[in-house]
Amino acid sequence: MGARPGPPIERSFRSALEQGGAELLGVVDQLLSPRPPLRIGATTTTAYRRIHEILASVLDFAARVAADKAQWEGAQGRLAVELSRAKIIVNYQLARDQISQDIAALLNDVLNAIDSAVRNNQREQVQKLAEHGRVLIDALAVLVYRFGR
């Protein structure tokens, strides 16, 4: 299970992250299917669990502060720190060969999309991306636990 996923799942994943709705439901269904379109390679359940804990915390925090304009004003610096920390852990586990390039790329897509929205002060976009991203990382967790080592 080490081949790079074809562009269709990557495009679908990015579209689901940005659009939500039917796109999100479709990607979750694909990832949870008996024959998912994504190969997880050398991804270990332990490494993904560690990543998931941090990413889930960051995404939940981002969604919560972005939902409240008053909280948003004071939380952008903290959110930048947490996003940086999450990027580091994903790439650290990739460098250790504990997660596949494919999984790392998708996780980095989530983090980079939110990072871009934070940098552009797009509070509502951050909230949407964080909520959709949380669903997607949870679906990836199921995939890793089913097929990981």
23 falls within a domain? yes
pLDDT band at 26 (very low <50, low <70, confident <90, very high): very high
* Structural domain span for residue 104: 7-147
Asked if residue 1 belongs to a domain, the reply is: no
Task: Give the CA radius of gyration of the chain.
Answer: 15
Segment 28-50 shows an average pLDDT of 92
Average pLDDT over residues 39-48: 91
5 pLDDT above the threshold of 50: no
Buried b vs exposed e over 80-111: b needs ≥16 C-beta within 10 Å?
Answer: eebbeebbebbeebbeeebbbebbbebbbbbb
**Alpha-carbon torsion, ordered 94, 97, 98, 100, to 10 deg:** 70
- The number of distinct structural domains making up the chain is 1
Using one digit for the tens of pLDDT, what is the confidence trace for 126-143? 999 999 999 999 999 999
48-74 pLDDT per residue, tens? 999 999 999 999 999 999 999 999 988
Query: Which CATH number is 94's domain given?
Result: 1.20.120
Angle (deg, nearest 10), helices 45-66 and 101-119: 20
| 142 lies in some domain | yes
* Average pLDDT of span 19-34: 95
Q: Is residue 106 part of a domain?
A: yes
Decide if 2 is inside a domain.
Answer: no
Per-residue pLDDT tens over the stretch 101-128: 999 999 999 999 999 999 999 999 999 9
* Within a domain: 75: yes
C-alpha distances in angstroms, 56 versus 50, 74, 111, 139? 10, 21, 11, 12
Residue 76 lies in a domain: yes
